[in-house]
Copies of this chain bind each other. A is one copy, B any other.
Amino acid sequence: MARLVRLAGSDDADAVGRLLHDFNREFNEPTPAATALAGRMRQLLNGGDTLVLLAGDGPDGLAVLRFRAAIWSTGQECYLAELYVTPARRGQGLGRALMEAALDEARKRGADTMDIGVDEPDHVARHLYESLGFTNRTGGPDGPVMFVYERELLSHDSVPRALVASPNRTTMHPAEIR
């Protein structure tokens, strides 16, 4: 039996771009074209700080991980930037399989921690993360919740960068699996 989840190579950039594009479309977010996203993801996959996991034969889902040197240890820190499963394949365990593979790969690469940004109403995603040991509370289960704050830096008179369809696109894309 083929493995459910595999690591993407730069040959997979077109499929990755398509999935990211479909992700934005489904949630009515402005999106660069699939080809532009493919080109960007090819750059990032070749750059060394980005890892993509693909699930299913379509492929039907992906996880995008970013790595960098940690401040508080000599290891790496890992950020789960995107998690997506196509509507037709939801409820079949692909999201969980992607997350389990993501945790394995992050450990292999020397990451000490993994962080995720999630919108409050994304209960399916939050339940998945919580079931895998993630928490949005600092200092223990009774600790305060941790918020993401963000802002855009483009000024009104600046020229939007090529890839961006709209400067209103949020960076902190919620990891959606619903």
**B172 x A74 contact (CB < 8 A):** no
**B145 x A73 contact (CB < 8 A):** no
Would A153 and B112 be within 8 Å (CB), given that A77-B171, A121-B144, A170-B138 are in contact?
yes
The answer for the CA separation of A64 and B64 in the assembled complex, in Å, is 24
Contact pattern, A 83-106, Cβ under 8 Å of B = 1, otherwise 0 = 000000000000000000001001
Q: Is the interface of A mostly helix, strand, loop or mixed?
A: mixed
The answer for the CA separation of A111 and B23 in the assembled complex, in Å, is 23
Query: For the complex, is A132 an interface residue (Cβ under 8 Å from B)?
Result: yes
**B150 x A116 contact (CB < 8 A):** yes
Shortest A141–chain B CB gap in Å is 13
Contact pattern, A 122-133, Cβ under 8 Å of B = 1, otherwise 0 = 000010011011
The answer for the CA separation of A106 and B153 in the assembled complex, in Å, is 8
Chain A residues in the interface with B (C-beta under 8 A): 20, 32, 37, 40-41, 43-44, 47, 49, 64, 66, 68-75, 77-78, 81-82, 103, 106-107, 111-121, 126, 129-130, 132-136, 138-139, 144-155, 160-164, 167, 169-174
